[in-house]
Chain A
Amino acid sequence: MHIAAIDHMANNGDSFLHNARPITKVSMALLFLVSLIVTNHIFKALILLAIPIALILLSRVNVREILHLAAYPLVFSILFALIRIQQSWVAGLLVMTKALGAALNMLLLIATTPYTDLFGIFSYVLPGPIIDVFIFTYRSLFILLDKLENMMKSIRLRGGFHPVRILFNLKNTAGALGVMTIHAFDMSERLYRIYSLRGYKGKIPLSREWEPLKPVDGFLLLFSLIVLTGVFIPWNI
């Protein structure tokens, strides 16, 4: 799970992108995503891939973690690229470029924006209870990951895992997942009681105060709009 590393980058990073307003970064990510989806020109797609790479380097996030996560969509895009390569190598390259560009674009967003800010932006378009589910999911993920790690270690130490006995392993793993689900249920009840004491009525208040944009926000938005416009212009290249 790389979510912990991403969370660390988003909360502890210090760069012009970390300091930009979340609304700017979300708008920029969506504009780049639209640019990538609409382009069918390899040179434009390569430029759109180079932009998030440059921004990732400039934002001084952990490049190794980002590359590790970007490898996943890249591998899946290779499957489709292999199909397209039968038509032309450019088409294959285009599929991979678009997939990698879109993934890096999203990774750049999540690595420079704390999740509470991101869910705060989502709350403009999604109902409150759904945002609450997002927050509870994210919050409990790290706690449960720790529990699972300890539980799997205990199973191995007590001889509950055998390299050859698949059914035996499956039964013990299912038992461990069952125990963890019960832990999770107890945890959710405790969470509900704690939140209820604090006045929870089905909507966690997230900061949605409008903050004035900074020069860096203006620059990023203008840059994204220029890129999107550039995608629609039929350059003679």
Chain B
Amino acid sequence: MSHIHLPDGVIPPFWWITGLILCLALLWIFAGRIKKDEVRRKIPFAGVIGALMLIFMSVPLGILPVHLNLAVLCGILAGPGLGFVAVFAVNTILALIGHGGFTVIGLNTLLMGGEAILGYYIFRAASGRLGSASSAVTANILALLLSTVLMILIVGTSVGLGEALLPHDHTHESVHAGEDHIDDRENNSESHSGEIKDARFLFLTGWTAVIAVILAGILLESLVTGLIVSFFSKVRPDLLKPAAEG
């Protein structure tokens, strides 16, 4: 769900450099944990899960302008550390084929990897009280809500709140041909409420449309995750046993 589809050159360097540094720091920490034997056994699985995520992303969802990520499922199955590493591999491969900018790999990994980590812990906490499928749905909804809010905050703070959600228009003239400097941040602090009004989805408009798309995406992904986990609990319950925290 919360995958930043921004091309290179849109997010200011401060944000993507910070994202990249944080992401690499986390990768080094998780790589250190992988040295444990029981976690090392899961490296091929993390790779295979990464491949599955790439495939799931290519599944069209009809009229909904979003795609499945299944990062939470990845976290539940591979564990938080390997889940994060798999997400990084997925984002890098996607960036190499032009799906999302190369510079936003760090931010994308932090968001999607955050879903995997958070999803894992919520699933573990909830599975003691609820069934596997309900726990997976709960974990998915909570993790996706949080990462979507974070995505909107990151893109909204760096580019502008309207841009974080849907296209809109500015009226301030600040760029001229031949200038080496573009001052396009001036209007970002201005109200975007009028611009969001133009957003449309089916018969809905404005913020209602934006929120409807986000919620529908989250619910759909949660439902698919719940169904997959429910299927696992019937045929391979061992897959849902707590993954080593690599």
Contact = CB atoms under 8 A, between A and B. Distances in A.
Interface of A: 1-3, 6, 33, 36-37, 40-42, 69-70, 72-73, 76-77, 79-80, 82-84, 86-88, 90-91, 94-95, 98-100, 102-104, 106-107, 109-110, 118, 122, 126-130, 132-141, 144-145, 148, 170-171, 173-175, 177-182, 184-185, 187-189, 191-192, 195, 201-202, 234, 237
Given A1-B58, A90-B177, A184 B52 contact: yes
Interface of B: 5-10, 13, 27-28, 31-32, 34-35, 40-52, 54-56, 58-59, 73, 77, 82, 85-86, 88-90, 92-93, 95-103, 159-160, 162-163, 166-182, 184, 223-224, 227-228, 231-232, 235-236, 239
- Looking at B44, B52, B90, B97, which has the most chain A CB atoms within 10 Å of its CB? B44
A40 to B, nearest CB: 5
A189 to B, nearest CB: 8
A109 B173 contact: no
6 contacts: A139-B47, A140-B47, A144-B52, A144-B55, A182-B236, A191-B48
B96 A178 contact: no
Contact of A180 (B47, B52, B58): B52
- Looking at B7, B54, B168, B228, which has the most chain A CB atoms within 10 Å of its CB? B7
A83 B167 contact: yes
Contacts of A95: 7, 9-10
Contacts of B228: 174, 177-178, 181
Nearest to B99: A72
Contacts of A174: 223-224, 227-228, 231
Interface pairs A-B: 10 shortest CB-CB:
A136-B47, A99-B7, A174-B227, A127-B31, A137-B50, A102-B8, A178-B231, A98-B9, A103-B98, A91-B175
A126 B172 CA distance: 43
